[in-house]
Every structure is written in structure tokens, then in C-alpha cells.
Amino acid sequence: MNKDVFKTLIIEGQEELQEVELYKRPFEFEEQGRYVLVGIRQAGKSYLLYQRAKHLIEQGHSVKELVYINFDDERLLGMSADDFDLILQAYSSMYPDKPILFFDEIQNINGWEHFARRLANQKYMVYITGSNAKMLSRDIATTLGARFFDEKVYPYSFREYLGAQGITLGKEWMYGKLKGTVQQMMNEYFRWGGFPELLMYRNKRHWLNGLYEKIILGDVIQRNGVKNEQALRLAIKRLAENVKQPTAYNRLANMVKSTGVSTNTASIIDYIRYVKEACILFTIDNYASKFVEKETVKKHYFTDNGLLSIFLTDQDSSLLENLCAITLYKKYADTDSPRIYFYNKNIEVDFYVPEEDLAIQAAYSLNDQDTRKREVSALVALHKAYPLKRALIITYDEEETIEVNGLTIGVVPIWKWLLE
């Protein structure tokens, strides 16, 4: 690396910050805060950097004070942590100011956290993004100390998805013509997810396949030196096909081996960890399990419905439960407390939040009487063991209230629940 490369990147970054058009997401930065933003690729982390940069310009900062560098740039291949200081040297040779630093996909450079800590100690304003959940690990948090806020970034929520297409919902929106538009857009969001850039493309499956390949090849296989690529890919495919079912690691290994591909349980555990670190998957535990089973039998969900949909043919019930899981995980599992679980012991309840006394079933439709009986009876049984303040059945487009054995169960369409 040499300073001239970084001079070029600094100028290009300043031009990009001025030219980019964006939909403002509901994220407020602390004025004096430094940030590490982590999430799956294309979730919109870069646009939050752009949003912050534009806000600083509106406050009176010159664009010449800003340094935006994307470490996915092929001109930075081979860069090491020793080269970070060249960025500051390049800037100081061009401008007299103290720069405000925006570093995108910094996880590509091993040891980045030590440079970030030094910048914080020297009172630089720093904003960092990355696509690897290890950036939020205890080891890195210890290195950074309390110098940075760390935040997870997800693809659009349904409300953001509507807002990005110019639809703003007033208080009485459900009573006008807008309701039909919202339901129509729910169909697209439900099937293809909320990646911001996806709105630009008609062939959404093609774009999602390309994103998935980029993540799997770059962030999983290459980063972790995976030798048995076929076993890894089959494991993810089997998890997608069984997304509604608790899956033990040894059972998953057996499913892969049944196709004639060699693997073992230890390798499967590693593969799932790699995929979780790449922010493709997240897991929830069984509230009723003993500790050992909690660690080995989990439900695995995809961070975005679009990534799940590329694996499925019969999609509806799996996509509904996955979207419920995403929404609840963002609300509950990213905080210290409360946490979200499923409940599986003689009865099956899809989601249980004990600190909220909340239980939720995901059922695409209740028109089938066997389905209706199963979903309702499971909630009633859980209520007897752990009294519930709120019980819901989330459907695709059905709504009613069920009163049974002293329990009120709200049946709510997914589009309405997401906009509450």
C-alpha cells in the first residue's frame, strides 16, 4: 500500500458522499458517539454512514473533513493493519483539518479493532461498519472498551419498506384506499424481503442469488477456509427446508450424509457458526429444554425472508414464521432482557417471551379446523403452565378474537402486526 492509493480513495469517497441519494432510516446517532454498525451485507449499513455524513454537512462541516473508505475495494487487496496509518498520513498531506472517519466493511482487515481503539483514544470521530457478527464479540468489545456504541443493522422493516417507496401511513390509514396498497406491497415484502437495493430490480430472485453467493463464497468459505463446500451448502439448504422445526446438529449432519456427502457433527457445528457470523442465520432456544439440549437443539431462522425464499418451493407457512421470528428477534433478542424462545415440551408454541408473558403462534391460515385446534390448544396449555398477558396467532390475512378457557387470543394479519 502507498499514500497515493488512499488519496484517490479519499477524493472518490467525498464525491460519493455528496452524490448519493438515500431514504432516511429511523436511526439517530449520538452527536459525540463513535459507532460500530454490524449486519448482513446489503442491509443498509453503508447508507447509515451516508446518512450521518450528510447530517454532518448540514450542520456545517465541510465535505473535505470527511473520509469514507470501503474496504471491499479491490485496490485494497493485500492491505494489513500496518497500513491503516497511511490513511491518516494521506489525509494530512491533503488537508489541514482533523478528519471524520467512515470505514465500511472494515472486518476485511484483521486487527482493525486496535486501530479503531487508537483513533478513539486520539479523539477522532469514527463510524465503522462490518458484515461479521464476531465484530460484536466479547474479545473485540474488550479491545474497544466503552469507546464505541455497537448496533446491529437489519434490512428494511415493513414500515421502512413502505416509506422507501413513498408511502407514509397516517393514523387512520386502514380505513382508506391505502389499505389495499399496503396489502399488495406486503405480498412482495413477504416473499422477497427488505434488502434496500432490491427495490431497484425486477428480477429479485436473481439479485438475491447473487448476494447469497457473494456472502457464502467471501464471508463464509474463503474467510474460514472451508474445505467441504458441498456439505456446508447442503446444511444451509436443509435448514431452510426445515426452518419451522427444531434441528439438532447431529440430525443435520445425518441429513447431509444421507445425500452421499461426507461430514460429521463437529463440522456442522462449525458451519452453522460461520453462517451465523456472516449474519445469514440466527437461532432461538427451547425454553423447556435442559441446558445441554438448549445448546444442541435449536430453531434456525434466516435474517431476511428473501434469502429463505430462494431455497423454497412451498413457501407460505415457512416465510410467515420466519418473518415473525425476524420481527421478534429484532425487538427482544438484541437486548439484554427479555429474550425470545420457542416452547416444545408436550406442546409446541412457536414463540415465547417469558418476561413479557407473551406467546405467539404463526399460522398462514386457520381455515383448516385441525390447524385451528392445534394452534389454539397449544396456547391454552402454555397459559395453564405460565399465565400469559397476551396470546397471538399471526396469520397472512385473517383477523378475529378467540375466547377460550379464560384466555383471549388475538388473531392478527401479518401486515397489521408488523405495522403496530
CATH number at residue 211: 1.10.10.10
Same-domain pairing of 262 and 344: no
What CATH number corresponds to the domain at position 114? 3.40.50.300
Mean pLDDT of the chain: 94
Helix axes 3-19 and 84-92, enclosed angle (nearest 10): 70
Final residue before a domain boundary, out of 192, 211, 240: 192
The residue from 174, 192, 210 where one domain ends is: 192
Reading the block at residue 380, the C-alpha cell is: 391454552
In contact, 107 and 130? CB cutoff 8 Å: yes
**C-alpha–C-alpha distance, residues 277 and 255, integer Å:** 23
Entry field: residues in the chain: 420
pLDDT of 197: 95
- Residue 257 scores a pLDDT above 70: yes
pLDDT bin (cut points 50, 70, 90) of residue 289 is confident
Mean local confidence (pLDDT), 115-123: 96
Beta strands in 17-141 (DSSP E): 35-38, 66-70, 100-104, 125-130
Residues 304 and 288 in one domain: yes
Residue range 45-73: mean pLDDT, rounded: 96
Same domain? For 229 and 365 the reply is: no
pLDDT of 176 reads: 79
Angle, helix 45-58 to helix 3-19, in steps of 10 degrees: 80
Residue 292: band (very low, low, confident or very high) from pLDDT cuts 50, 70, 90: low
Q: Which domain holds residue 309?
A: 201-313
Domain total of the chain: 4
Looking at the fold, whether 20 and 140 belong to one and the same domain comes out as yes
The 10s digit of each residue's pLDDT in 332-354 is 986 655 689 999 999 999 999 99
Same domain, 163 and 97: no
Distance, CA of 45 to CA of 37 (rounded, Å) = 7
Share of the chain above pLDDT 70, in %: 99
